[in-house]
């Protein structure tokens, strides 16, 4: 049995930034948050992570954000959520 990561960092990056000119994801992000596992499963069926105003359901095997609330609201159009362990 594989143990799920207990913490991720989520970066919110504008979708229109296709070529960051060598800038890292961290430098391109308009907001970031460290989220920690709650031990619960979200409505999406993936583990739930919470922290710094973000609630995310993350697929730990693909590191894909399956659902995300930022300050209680859905992610604004034009932003993409990327995660790092």
List the one residue out of 7, 20, 5, 11 whose CA is nearest residue 82: 11
Provide the residue ranges of all domains of the chain, joining segments of one domain with +. 7-84
Instruction: Give the pLDDT confidence of 47-70 residue by residue, as tens digits.
Output: 999 999 999 999 999 999 999 999
Residues of the chain with pLDDT under 50: none
CB atoms within 10 A of CB 42: 18
Distance, in Å, from the CA atom of 38 to the CA atom of 54, rounded to the nearest integer, reads 12
Q: Whole-prediction pTM value?
A: 0.86
């Amino acid at each position: 049995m594989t143990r799920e990561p207990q913490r991720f960092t989520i970066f919110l990056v504008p979708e229109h930034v296709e070529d960051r000119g060598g800038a890292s994801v961290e430098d391109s992000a308009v907001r970031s948050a460290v989220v920690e596992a709650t031990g619960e499963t979200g409505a999406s069926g993936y583990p739930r992570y919470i922290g710094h105003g973000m609630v995310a359901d993350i697929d730990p095997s693909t590191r894909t954000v399956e659902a995300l609330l930022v300050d209680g609201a859905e992610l604004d159009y034009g932003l993409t959520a990327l995660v790092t362990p």
